[in-house]
Structure 1
Amino acid sequence: MNEDLSAKKRTNLLLDAMSLEDKVSLITGNLNNYYGYYNEGMEKYGIPELKMADGPAGVRIANPDIQNKQSTAMPAPIALAASWDTSAAAAYGDVLGNEAFNTTHNVLLGPGLDIARNAFGSRNFESLGEDPVLQSRIAASYINGVQDNHVMTTAKHYLLNNQETLRFTNDSQASERAIHEIYARPFQAAIEDADLSSIMCSFNKVNTEYACDSKSLLTDLLRDQLEFEGFVMSDYGANISTVNSINSGLDLETPGEPIGKWGDNLLQAVKDGQVKEETVNQSTYRLLYQMFDKGLIDHPTQNKQIDTAAHGQTAREIAAESMVLLKNKKDVLPIQDNTDSIAVIGPDADNASAAGGGSSLVNPTYTVSPLEGIKNQAGKNTEVSYTAGTDPISAGDVMPGPDAVPSSLLHTEKDASENGLKAEYWTNKNFEGNPSHERTDRQVNMNLGFYNYEGFNSQSPKLDKLPTDLNGMMSARWTGVIEAPENGTYNLSTTSFGTSKLYLDGKLIVENEGKELGTKSVEVDLKKGEQHDIKIEYQTDYETGDGRDYGGQVRFGWEPAKGVVDEQIKKAVKAAKRADKAVIVTRTYDSEGYTDRSDMELPNNQQQLIEEVSKVNKNTIVVNESGIAIEMGDWQDDVKAIVQAWYPGQEQGNAIADVLFGDVNPSGKLPVTFPVDEDKTPTNSEDQFPGTNGVNNYSEGVFVGYRGYDKQNLEVAYPFGYGLSYTDFKYRNLHTKVKHKKDDTSIEVKLNLRNTGDTKGAEVVQVYAGELPTNDVETPKKQLAGFEKVELKAGKQKSVKIKLDPKAFSYYDETKNEWVMPSGEVPVYVGSSSEDIRLEGTVTLP
């Protein structure tokens, strides 16, 4: 406990005093007993508990005795990446570190360093984008901000954990070159530039070996090549063995279900000679050293009220800075003071918080809805109305298939005024006995299991959550009537995992066996005003093959007859017709879970909502809240402005209003490419995603994200690095410089940047390296080498100097097992996005 000694010395003293049983106990996960993840401490040695909080978008507090489980809901990490601002990342990390420490937590499970390989991955909102250089710079600042508060960070998920579909069992197969150049680089930067404390290994296999059981990943790559000195912990329940995992390089087993693989099993393995005691010592040392080094032992955590106002202000500033202005025709934005009326439209525009679901979901300290923020900014002289336009967004919208039938078409019984269907739920899969729960459901759009656990579900607060006792095997029945808004032929369907049946006027018209999550449909002629009896039955009688229960998944869907508009959209159209401007706030539902989204379309009839509103209001503005790229189709040509707001956190309303009304000049840039649609991406084959026969093949190699779009000459909707401003910038006078000393090569560019508009703004100057001078290895046409965010007042100029990442001018040689920088001339591109190149030059590599 002598603080004057080095962390190394103190660790060795403590290690010498501990018995083998003590060490095994310390590195074995203990099931929680205080509403959270933790590993028990050892009071006799002064070792505190490891109290772990889920991240990475805030501190997820599980203990109801700690500040009412509330903390600051920050913008999603993908939004932070969209800021391209390392100082913002440091401030973000500082808030998280401060709140973790002051809510009794000393380990934060974040940041997520999973590359956004698939454009519509359900967990992309937790990612820092598709490029390793951008991820690396943002992550290092984030980690330093957290760890300055005596809180350890855990970078996750190591490695190739880039999809939710089959994430527990799939085998991610990638080349050594792709691993080194793309997927391991953010982890390497966190080690080199942020003294990373720990890394979490993932559930999936990597090149046939489970990640937490892989010596090639945990020792050969992580320890020997990346020189990581921290500890490796397993994802919760991801450790599959006793002997192999610790011998391969796993240091800390987090709790498994129902119990883990270490503990007494590991003790016995040491006694039997299967695991050396030195190996246990090594893992214990790695853990204890980080606890000394990051100050956990000398600075006990506390339960001290967090600074709600100050941290909320930081969340607001970062959220506004992260928003990407995708379109601004005829300068419809910013909204001017002389605007008489604004129609705010959107199913959750009055929703206090839009966020990604799953383990990163935070219970906010307070919230501001987009409607509230716009009302506050608009002032007394501007009339602001609100219309939902569609039903609220829910976890059911993660599933594939047609949109859910709107509640305006459904009634609990004939001539009833109440919209929706009567719902009956059973906690068994065969409708046995009396239903355990009865209520009215607005739509049949249900996705239970993981998505329905308390604190994990981010669906609209307008929707009542189902009890968690329905998360296992269950059955359900919905009854009522359907009334078409117009005459026509309608396509009615069920999408389900498990058997679903649809009856119309007592006749079975759809029977979906649901052996896999999929859709079956039928065409039905319906007349306006006629009411037809409807019944949907569902059972969780699916077979998963992996022993997991994925919960109930079913949707009653529709494709309306041509020209048919439901009543909710009609109300929104009326409101938009009366207003000077229409602001439509759309959103997707993205979450950790069992599946990725199957497409990029806006769910639950929001696309039709935009199409109809934009017909009657020439000043339609779309603000989209999502963690993924969305497909816009024809409607993007019909609206005046589009703002990509990501999931902006608890200050979402004020941040959105700051951008819409011009208090903040948008400066966000896309950290991911927005493709035209889900069929035109570099990972478009089934072998690549979701995989075949349990294997997803990373056959695109290093051509991930914009690199792949360039290679395949794929058209994009909006390129990586893209984002408009309320001002303009001019680039001039590019100079390049290369310095070489021994094995160290330094490359930098210098240029002049001027704000040529009449508004203060910030520009992200992006530098890309071109194809490398090698005939043996194919390299990207462009890859990000460096960037700098520069703020300038109107008319002002600044000389900008950017040091470039030497790895952008190198490739990983799989035969030599090392990075190689080829000699010769390399193009250098400087611009405002990966496609908007303003200056070109070259560097000559020695």
Structure 2
Amino acid sequence: MTTEYAKALKKVRDGSDHHEQARVLISQMTQEERLHCLDGGSPFWEGIKDMSKGGYHQRTFPACRIPRLGIPGFHFSDGPRGVVIGPATAFPVSMARGASFDIDLEERIGDVIGQELRAVGATLYGGVCVNLLRHPAWGRAQETYGEDPHHVGEMGAALTRGAQRHVMATVKHFALNSMENARFRVDVTIDERTLHEVYLPHFKRIIDEGVACVMSAYNSVNGDFCGDNEALLTGILRDEWDFDGFVVSDWIFGLRDGVKSVRAGLDVEMPYRMMRHAPIVEAVATGELSMDVVDRAVEHTLSTMLRFGVGEMPTQPADVLAQSSHRALAREVAQKSMVLLRNELVDGVAVLPLQRASLTRVAVIGELARKRNLGDGGSSDVMAPEVVSALTGIQNALNGVDVSYDDATDMPQAVAHAVASEIAIVVVGYTKADEGEFIGTSSDTTHLASHIPAVDDPALVEEFTAFKAAQEWALPVVMKDIERDVNFAVGGDRASLRLAPKDVELIRAIAKVQPRTIVVLVCGSAVLIDEWHDDVAAVVVSWYCGMQGGHALADILTGAVNPSACLPFVIPEQEDDLVFFDRDAKEITYEYFHGQWLLDKNNRRAAYPFGFGLSYTTFSYSNAHLKADGDAIAVTVDVTNTGAVSGATVVQIYAGLSGSKIERPRRRLVGFGRVDLTAGQTHAVVVQVPLRSLAIRDVNSHDWLLESGSWNIEIAQFSGDSQALLQSVVVAEQRYHS
């Protein structure tokens, strides 16, 4: 028997409007069924019980299922570095992938994640995280791509394109969620220009890409929590950007006022019926809330499901999870993500790549060298079937070389290993205990206890030994056994941008006795390295590099792969050069300038600028020219590999307007393109720069103004590159409405 949903789906497939068919379905639904579509598929305590028994990493989270009409609902799964329902492929974290500046690669990652999502039954992907890196101490920095709006937007759009070949994608967390510890209560104050020019362009880029779903953030913006924020969820998303999808809350405590949230434009509270089901039912019964508002939310969800063909999405077999081709891609991604920051000459020869033919003994030092360390242990955690450590990767690559290992718990012993070797590789950095999703019991979160629903089944009380504590704790993971399942550590925002003192002591001790010391940094964002930088021969940022990261690191160290990644943020010489960051703030103002822009504004020198990364070869740029054509400027440049080995470089285009009437960044990334070249090869690279990307927000008319004048265009290998090719183009004033 053909269901009503199947009939609607066929009509949409045959050309009927998806909104019209959604309204037909709504007309056939009871009031109870329509209200059911406003929340996750399970009552709160029933859902918590399931999660406590491992549900988070075992099954999807459904919503909007109406069996009577054949409506399958959507089935949600996270996350940014792979499917969290395992065993799945664990890619390097998003920040690492941001360093690749490789849009095509990111789209391939999205395609693979989409396939694996279908293998576990998911139809909604929650992994397109594009919150801007305002400050590198942010605990979840690893889940986004970097500090620049244009770069973050292009990478997120690529992931969306790839994933949406198979499932619906969700972009998150809307908006201004760039702090972790205080995320449940911090109020972010921001002006219109800063909001629209700095913290929202990347979201709009992904809306324009056609993303199906938006997830709101926990924090509040200009006094309204994001889950209840009509200015964000309707004024910007719907009215200004013409978003044609649905909005879900962040998970548990993602809103504060149930009735206000549905009026504001929040379509579904996830993942359970928690904070708004009862208030909305009561508001409808008393006439405070019209069913027209409810129907609007349901239409957003159903029309999107129909548009994407939920219910007819091809399935994938279970063995697609972490299959060999996906693991190979994870290795390629890690290779293209690792940044070579330093590579000095020792006895006239660069320490990297390793000269394997002359090596007899290599020391690998540091507990992280053999640790399973994929990054955050929170909602983005992936249950990879295997993880190749740095030590294993190096041992396999240097077969025949004596590779010794020391975990550095005994400093004199570690030093002895370094002395007895020709090379010392010191692996240091962070784990999920140092940075990541924060789950704790601070006073900033206990105020949420009143939002936990009363237990409607007394038998559940006996199943949770921490029930009383859960009522007081009031956090997304409210019981010890759930915490164990989701695998949270301390996490949160970083206390320091420096390495732990024991790591600094280790590096200095090893470098003192071994001139060929290579430091491998495991991290999710910037690390200040001035304390020991000049003491070592080489520095590689390996990030949380995924299940094949150890092999990829060895590929980079041995020269089997030439490093090509670039920093997706600036590393300052001192933390004071960055914006103010208070991880326990209750209120904070986001200013226009941050990261590289702020250093430029204050004429501060970067230790390593945005976009910087070394290679084992060299590149030259020549014959640059610009062509203004319609709505874009075509930037063309010849790139030549002037070295002896093949390699890749990222052509970065920066724009600035001298004499602007409005304060703006000295230079702003407006385009980039990655090119692979054999030794001696030259290739013409063309980067399109939309004129719209040069416009500023007019706070009087609330539209966009492209100032007339002569624009400076820098064709560079990193921000502020002294060897950049300089061009200029004169543009006329224009206005844009969205």
* TM-score category of the 2 structures, normalised to the smaller one: 0.7 to 0.9
Q: 2:314 and 2:67 mapped to 1: Cα distance?
A: 12
Is the CA contact (8 Å cut-off) linking 1:765 and 1:832 kept in structure 2?
Answer: yes
Secondary structure of the corresponding residue to residue 326 of structure 2: helix
Amino acid corresponding to residue 569 of structure 1 in structure 2: M
> 1:58 Cα deviation (Å)?
1.0
Secondary structure of the corresponding residue to residue 349 of structure 1: helix
> 1:185 Cα deviation (Å)?
0.9
Structure 2 counterpart of 1:696: 588
Q: Deviations over 1:487-530 (max 9, x none)?
A: xxxxxxxxxxxxxxxxxxxxxxxxxxxxxxxxxxxxxxxxxxxx
Farther off after superposition, 595-604 or 617-626: 595-604
Is the CA contact (8 Å cut-off) linking 2:182 and 2:584 kept in structure 1?
Answer: no
Q: Deviations over 1:630-686 (max 9, x none)?
A: 1112311111110011110111110100101111110100001111232221x13xx
Structure 2 counterpart of 1:628: 525
Secondary structure of the corresponding residue to residue 180 of structure 2: coil
Amino acid corresponding to residue 696 of structure 1 in structure 2: I
Task: Please say if 1:242 is aligned against 2:242.
Answer: no
Q: Deviations over 1:463-486 (max 9, x none)?
A: xxxxxxxxxxxxxxxxxxxxxxxx
Structure 2 counterpart of 1:349: 369
Is the CA contact (8 Å cut-off) linking 1:749 and 1:801 kept in structure 2?
Answer: yes
Q: Deviations over 1:241-284 (max 9, x none)?
A: 1211111111111136xx52333432332232322222211111
Secondary structure of the corresponding residue to residue 650 of structure 2: strand
> 1:843 Cα deviation (Å)?
1.1
Amino acid corresponding to residue 530 of structure 2 in structure 1: G
Q: 1:38 and 1:303 mapped to 2: Cα distance?
A: 20
Structure 1 counterpart of 2:274: 260
Q: 1:773 and 1:27 mapped to 2: Cα distance?
A: 51
Task: Please say if 1:333 is aligned against 2:352.
Answer: yes
Give percent identity, aligned residues only.
34
Structure 2 counterpart of 1:783: 668
> 1:49 Cα deviation (Å)?
4.0
Is the CA contact (8 Å cut-off) linking 1:751 and 1:799 kept in structure 2?
Answer: yes
Compute the TM-score of the two structures, normalised by the length of structure 2: 0.85
Q: 1:378 and 1:266 mapped to 2: Cα distance?
A: 64
Which residue, 28, 34, 37 being the options, matches 1:26? 37
> 1:785 Cα deviation (Å)?
0.6
Is the CA contact (8 Å cut-off) linking 1:766 and 1:784 kept in structure 2?
Answer: yes
Which residue, 541, 545, 564 being the options, matches 1:644? 541
Q: Following superposition of structure 1 onto structure 2, how do residues 504-523 of structure 1 map, counting pairs within 5 Å?
A: none
Q: 1:117 and 1:772 mapped to 2: Cα distance?
A: 25
Q: 1:735 and 1:372 mapped to 2: Cα distance?
A: 47
Q: 2:179 and 2:356 mapped to 1: Cα distance?
A: 45
> 1:9 Cα deviation (Å)?
4.3
Is the CA contact (8 Å cut-off) linking 2:39 and 2:64 kept in structure 1?
Answer: no
Farther off after superposition, 781-790 or 589-598: 589-598
Amino acid corresponding to residue 554 of structure 2 in structure 1: A
Secondary structure of the corresponding residue to residue 261 of structure 1: coil
> 1:575 Cα deviation (Å)?
0.1
Structure 2 counterpart of 1:764: 650
Q: Following superposition of structure 1 onto structure 2, how do residues 668-687 of structure 1 map, counting pairs within 5 Å?
A: 668-681=565-578, 683-684=579-580
Q: Deviations over 1:37-84 (max 9, x none)?
A: 3326222222224321121111111xxxxxxx3111110000111000
> 1:356 Cα deviation (Å)?
2.3
Is the CA contact (8 Å cut-off) linking 1:136 and 1:185 kept in structure 2?
Answer: yes
Secondary structure of the corresponding residue to residue 305 of structure 1: helix
Structure 2 counterpart of 1:518: none
Structure 2 counterpart of 1:59: 83
Q: Deviations over 1:160-181 (max 9, x none)?
A: 1101131100001111111111
Task: Please say if 1:82 is aligned against 2:102.
Answer: no
Task: Please say if 1:663 is aligned against 2:560.
Answer: yes
Task: Please say if 1:375 is aligned against 2:392.
Answer: no
Is the CA contact (8 Å cut-off) linking 1:619 and 1:639 kept in structure 2?
Answer: yes
Which residue, 182, 187, 191 being the options, matches 2:207? 191
Task: Please say if 1:157 is aligned against 2:157.
Answer: no
Amino acid corresponding to residue 386 of structure 2 in structure 1: Y
Q: 2:307 and 2:501 mapped to 1: Cα distance?
A: 50
Is the CA contact (8 Å cut-off) linking 1:610 and 1:635 kept in structure 2?
Answer: yes
Structure 1 counterpart of 2:442: none
Is the CA contact (8 Å cut-off) linking 2:620 and 2:641 kept in structure 1?
Answer: yes
Q: Deviations over 1:570-629 (max 9, x none)?
A: 111000000010011112132110541121111261111000000111100011110021
Amino acid corresponding to residue 84 of structure 2 in structure 1: R
Is the CA contact (8 Å cut-off) linking 1:76 and 1:648 kept in structure 2?
Answer: yes
> 1:302 Cα deviation (Å)?
5.9
Amino acid corresponding to residue 214 of structure 2 in structure 1: I
Q: 1:120 and 1:357 mapped to 2: Cα distance?
A: 17
Q: 1:829 and 1:617 mapped to 2: Cα distance?
A: 40
Structure 2 counterpart of 1:583: 425
Structure 1 counterpart of 2:486: none
Secondary structure of the corresponding residue to residue 155 of structure 1: strand
What runs of 5+ residues in structure 1 fail to find an aligned partner? 62-68, 391-567
Is the CA contact (8 Å cut-off) linking 2:657 and 2:709 kept in structure 1?
Answer: no
Q: 2:629 and 2:664 mapped to 1: Cα distance?
A: 23
Amino acid corresponding to residue 24 of structure 2 in structure 1: L
Which residue, 389, 393, 408 being the options, matches 2:408? 389
Q: Following superposition of structure 1 onto structure 2, how do residues 265-280 of structure 1 map, counting pairs within 5 Å?
A: 265-280=279-294
Is the CA contact (8 Å cut-off) linking 1:122 and 1:628 kept in structure 2?
Answer: no
Q: Deviations over 1:699-735 (max 9, x none)?
A: x32x122111101122221110000001100000111
Relative to structure 1, the CA distance from residue 293 to residue 604 in structure 2 (aligned partners, 3 Å threshold; closer, same or farther) is: farther
Structure 2 counterpart of 1:128: 145
Structure 2 counterpart of 1:172: 188
Amino acid corresponding to residue 345 of structure 1 in structure 2: I
Q: Following superposition of structure 1 onto structure 2, how do residues 324-723 of structure 1 map, counting pairs within 5 Å?
A: 324-330=339-345, 331-338=350-357, 339-380=359-400, 382-390=401-409, 568-589=410-431, 590-593=435-438, 595-603=492-500, 605-681=502-578, 683-684=579-580, 689-690=582-583, 694-698=586-590, 700-701=591-592, 703-723=593-613
Which residue, 294, 308, 323 being the options, matches 1:294? 308
Q: 1:99 and 1:708 mapped to 2: Cα distance?
A: 40
- Report runs of 4+ in structure 1 exceeding 6 Å deviation: none
Amino acid corresponding to residue 709 of structure 2 in structure 1: G
Is the CA contact (8 Å cut-off) linking 1:599 and 1:678 kept in structure 2?
Answer: no
Compute the TM-score of the two structures, normalised by the length of structure 1: 0.74
Q: 1:319 and 1:269 mapped to 2: Cα distance?
A: 52
Secondary structure of the corresponding residue to residue 583 of structure 1: strand
Is the CA contact (8 Å cut-off) linking 2:41 and 2:65 kept in structure 1?
Answer: no
Q: 2:188 and 2:148 mapped to 1: Cα distance?
A: 19
Structure 1 counterpart of 2:459: none
Amino acid corresponding to residue 393 of structure 2 in structure 1: G
Is the CA contact (8 Å cut-off) linking 1:119 and 1:675 kept in structure 2?
Answer: no
Secondary structure of the corresponding residue to residue 23 of structure 2: helix
Task: Please say if 1:283 is aligned against 2:310.
Answer: no
Structure 1 counterpart of 2:617: 727
> 1:328 Cα deviation (Å)?
0.7
Q: 1:603 and 1:125 mapped to 2: Cα distance?
A: 19
Amino acid corresponding to residue 293 of structure 2 in structure 1: T
Amino acid corresponding to residue 391 of structure 2 in structure 1: L
Is the CA contact (8 Å cut-off) linking 2:90 and 2:384 kept in structure 1?
Answer: yes
Structure 2 counterpart of 1:826: 711
Structure 2 counterpart of 1:755: 641
Q: 1:773 and 1:806 mapped to 2: Cα distance?
A: 18
Secondary structure of the corresponding residue to residue 318 of structure 2: coil
Q: 2:183 and 2:548 mapped to 1: Cα distance?
A: 32
Q: Deviations over 1:415-458 (max 9, x none)?
A: xxxxxxxxxxxxxxxxxxxxxxxxxxxxxxxxxxxxxxxxxxxx
Q: Deviations over 1:201-224 (max 9, x none)?
A: 111110111111111111111111
Amino acid corresponding to residue 98 of structure 1 in structure 2: Q
Secondary structure of the corresponding residue to residue 18 of structure 1: coil
Q: 1:317 and 1:715 mapped to 2: Cα distance?
A: 33
Secondary structure of the corresponding residue to residue 288 of structure 1: helix
